[in-house]
């Protein structure tokens, strides 16, 4: 098992990619700390426990700095260490520049960017004391190529690539690697809401000819969180079926 004796904290873990990652990590031997704003996280953790895995759930918004710090302390008290942080929580509120409200801008920035900052800043000191850590955050392939109507989302996902490189420099001497993943179109509840015509157009730009599934991204998270990637830091791994850029 590739994550045996490791403790992994996964944000946005109740659905989609986060759920697939929590399940995969548990099967690979990790003790799982699941955070989400959705109460479904309780069901996910109960299922993991029924399968013989160690897991706990905390309903929390990553945008709340005080809540995050309190939850990190509780998780550390429970397991005694935190080896892996998967900054997976994210939202979209799409609108073209001329129609986007300040609230839509602020909401996406708060979850997708400030949330990553809050979680990483709270957990990095623990990893520093351990002299070991794996931090992996969710970017997106639109950070590289842009996307119509996603000023706020693209801004956050581009920033994730930048701060990943900064943190890799700052934390590397403490045995901590920092990376991110840039998914393409993945079949989740978020993308299910897209109009059918947009879905068809997106597939036309993917050489492999279909969208990915949450497990495709969970596999990437697993690699970067494992000791197999001990010499990999500061990168953005794109998983998008070769989508045209």
Q: Catalytic residue numbers?
A: 153
| Nearest alpha-carbon partner for 108 in 159, 167, 72 | 159
For 218, the enclosing helix (H) or strand (E) is helix 214-225
What is the distance between the alpha carbons of residues 204 and 207, in angstroms, rounded to a whole number?
8
Token digits of residue 40: 């479904």
Helices (H), 28-173: 40-50, 65-79, 102-109, 115-130, 142-145, 151-171
Q: What is the DSSP string of 23-69?
A: HHHHHTT-EEEEEESSTHHHHHHHHHHHTT--EEEEE--TT-HHHHH
What is the distance between the alpha carbons of residues 141 and 121, in angstroms, rounded to a whole number?
25
| Nearest alpha-carbon partner for 87 in 198, 16, 11 | 11
What is the distance between the alpha carbons of residues 202 and 211, in angstroms, rounded to a whole number?
9
Strand, coil or helix: 17: helix
What is the distance between the alpha carbons of residues 227 and 175, in angstroms, rounded to a whole number?
11
């Amino acid at each position: 098992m590739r994550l045996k004796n490791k403790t992994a904290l996964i944000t946005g873990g109740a659905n989609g990619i986060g759920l697939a990652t929590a399940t995969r990590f548990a099967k690979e031997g990790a003790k799982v700390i699941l955070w989400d704003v959705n109460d479904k996280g309780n069901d996910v953790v109960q299922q993991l426990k029924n399968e013989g895995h160690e897991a706990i759930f905390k309903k929390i918004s990553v945008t709340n700095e005080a809540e995050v710090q309190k939850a990190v302390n509780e998780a550390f008290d429970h397991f005694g260490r935190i080896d892996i942080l998967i900054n997976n929580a994210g939202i979209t509120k799409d609108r073209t520049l001329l129609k986007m409200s300040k609230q839509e801008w602020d909401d996406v920035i708060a979850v997708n960017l400030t949330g990553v900052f809050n979680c990483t800043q709270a957990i990095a000191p623990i990893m520093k004391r351990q002299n070991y850590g794996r931090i992996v955050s969710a970017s997106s392939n639109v950070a590289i190529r842009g996307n119509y109507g996603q000023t706020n989302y693209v801004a956050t996902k581009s920033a994730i690539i930048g701060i990943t490189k900064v943190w890799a420099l700052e934390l590397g001497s403490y045995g901590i690697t920092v990376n991110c993943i840039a998914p393409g179109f993945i079949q989740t509840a978020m993308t299910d809401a897209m109009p059918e015509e947009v879905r068809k157009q997106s597939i036309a730009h993917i050489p492999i000819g279909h969208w990915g599934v949450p497990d495709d991204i969970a596999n990437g998270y697993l690699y970067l969180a494992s000791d197999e990637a001990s010499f990999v830091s500061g990168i953005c791994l794109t998983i998008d079926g070769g989508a045209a850029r």
